[in-house]
Structure 1
Amino acid sequence: MRADRLIALLIFLQSRERVTAAQVAAELEVSLATARRDLEALSAAGIPVYVQAGRGGGWQLVGGAQTNLSGLSLYESRALFWLLGTAGLSSPETRVATMKLIQALPQSMRTEADRLATSIHYDHAAWGEQSSEAAVGLDRLRDAVVQRRSIIVSYTSRGGDRDQLQLRPLGLVAKSGIWYLVADGARGRRTYRVSRLEEVAGTDEFFDEPADFELTSYWKFHTETVEGLRSEVAALLRVPNWIAPILQKQFGRYCRVQSRGDEGRLTVEVRANLVVALAEQLAGWGKQVEVLAPPALRVELARIGAELIRQHGSAPKQD
C-alpha cells in the first residue's frame, strides 16, 4: 500500500462517520478490490479502524474519527494557523496542503483552524507603498537552499553593474515584502536582493552547510550593520511639540526626543546616512524646524531654499 494512499485513506476515514469500500474506491480512484485490501491492510497495521457488516455498515475509525493525524495539539494548531492566515490559501499548491492539514485535524480543532485560515490576513505593505515586488526565480532559489546545491546567477548591483556569480545559497529572508538571498561565494558571505538576480541556474555541485552559519543570527547582525550605516549622520532640531510625533513617524527608529524646552518646544535628534538626505527630508517643514546642529545641515537647507527661490520665485515662462 502506497504511503500517500494510506494518508489519503486515513483523512477520508476521519472526515466521515462511516465509509463503505465502494466510497473509498470512488474517493481514491482505485478498484473495489484494491479499496478492500487497503482497508484490511490499515486494520492489520494497527490503525484503530473496524468494519461493521450488514445494511448501513461500513468502515470507521474507533473513537468517532477523532484520530489526530497531524499530531498537533489545540494550542499548536491555533499557533500554526494564526501564523499562516490566508497565506496558506494563496496558491494552488499551498491551498491543497493547507486543506489536507485541516482535514487531518480532529473535528473539534478543524473548525477553528479553517476560520483562522480564512479570517486572518497579513498585508505587509504600508499605506501609500506599492505592493511587494515579484521575486523571479524564487522557487529555484528555494530548491537550491533545500538541496544545498550551488547556483550561477546574473546579479545587477544598485549602481547598475552586472556580474555573473557562482553562489552557495544558505537561506532566504523576506523583509517587508522584499526577498533577500544569503549566500557564500567568491566575495565571501553576502546578502543579495532577489529582485536583482537574473538567469538563476542550478549546477551539479553540492555543498555542506557551514558549521558557523545560523540564519536568524546572521540576519540580526546584518540588519544591525545596515541600520548603523543608515544612521551615521545625526542632527539636533528644535521643534514645536505637535511636530515630534510626526517626525517619529517619518524617521522611525532614527528619531529620539532629547529634552523639553520652554514655549511648548522640544529638542529632537534625527539621523540619516547623509547630510543631504536629512536636508531633503526636513526642507518641507520650512520654519517649523530649527536646526541646531550640525552647521553643514543648515548650509544644505539654505542651498535647497535658494534653489527653490530661483526655480519658483517668479511666474513660469510660457512656451
Structure 2
Amino acid sequence: MSSRMAKLDRLLALVHALAEDAEGLTLDEMATRIGVNRRTAERMRDIIMMHFDLEDVVDGRVKRWRIVGRLGRMFTQPSPEELAALQTEIDGQHNLGQHARAEILNSLLGKIRGALDAKAKARTAPDLEALAKAQRTLFTAGSAASVPGETLAAVQGAIIAGSMIEFDYRAEGKEEAAWRRVVPYGLIHGSISYLVGKIPSGSLPPVYYRLDRMENVRASNQPGVVPDDFDLDEWLSESFGIWRDAQHDVMLRFKPSAASRAREWRFHPKQHCEDEPDGFLTVSFRAGGLRELAEHLFCWGANVEIRSPDELRSQMVEMLETSLSAHRAN
C-alpha cells in the first residue's frame, strides 16, 4: 500500500471509529486507534469535521468527539477482507472444537452477508471465496475441549442479567460433580474455555472453571454483579497461564543468538525488554504461574538463563532432572 493510500485508509478508519463509539474519542484515543501521533490525529479530526457532523462532548476535564447520526451504506459496507477474516475465525473455532462459539460467529456472518444488496453480494463473493480458501488458523498441539452451546448460552445469559450462575462441577481427578454457585466475573476463550467465577461468601478470590466440566448450568435467582473495580485484563496479567499462585518478579536473560527471536516473543502483557551491550536481551515482568512458565521456557533450551526468582529456577531444574532421568531409563 502506498503512503497516500495508507493515509486515506487511516482517515476512513477514524471516520468509522468516531461513528461507532457512542461515548466519543479523545485525541489520544484517536491517535492510538489508528497508530499516529496526537498532532496527526488532530489534523485528521479537523478534516473530518469539514465533511461530517462532528460533535464535541465534555466529560469532566476531558473532551471527546463523535460523529452524530449514521454513516451511509458506502461507509458501512464490509469488505471481502473483513468477511474473510470472520470466516477464518469461524473455521478456526471449529478446528479447536469450539463449535458453540463458531456458531455464534457464523450467525453474525450470515446476518452481515444477508444485509448486503444483490450487487454487493455479487461483487464481494469471488474475493471472499478466494481469501477464505487461502487462510487458516494455525493448529498447535495442546489441550482442547468442546463446550455445549447451551452451557455457553447459560453463562453469557447470567452475565447479561447480572445474576449468579449455578452448576454441577466435576473437578479434575474427581469422579463425582459438586454443586457450585458463583458470581460470573468473565469468560476466557481458547482451545479450552473457562468461566472466571467467585464464590459469593467469604474472601476467596475468583478462580477458573472449565466450561466443558460444568453440568446442569442455569442462571441463579440471586443477583451477582461484578465489582466496578475488577478488571479482567489486569486479573489475567497476574499469572503467566491458568494456574495462579503468588506473584514473583521474573527476569529472563536470552543469549545473543536467541535475542532477536525473544524480542519478538510476547511472554507477558506487561513485559519490559532491555538490550545489553554484549548482545544479550533481558525480559522482565511480574506474574505467578511459575510451573507453566517453566514448561514454556523448557523449549528455549540453553538459550535462556533464569535470573529470578529462585523458585522458577528450581522448577526448571526439577523438570530437567525428571526428563533426563526418564529418557536415560529407557
| TM-score of the aligned structures, taking structure 2 as reference length | 0.49
Max Rg structure: 1
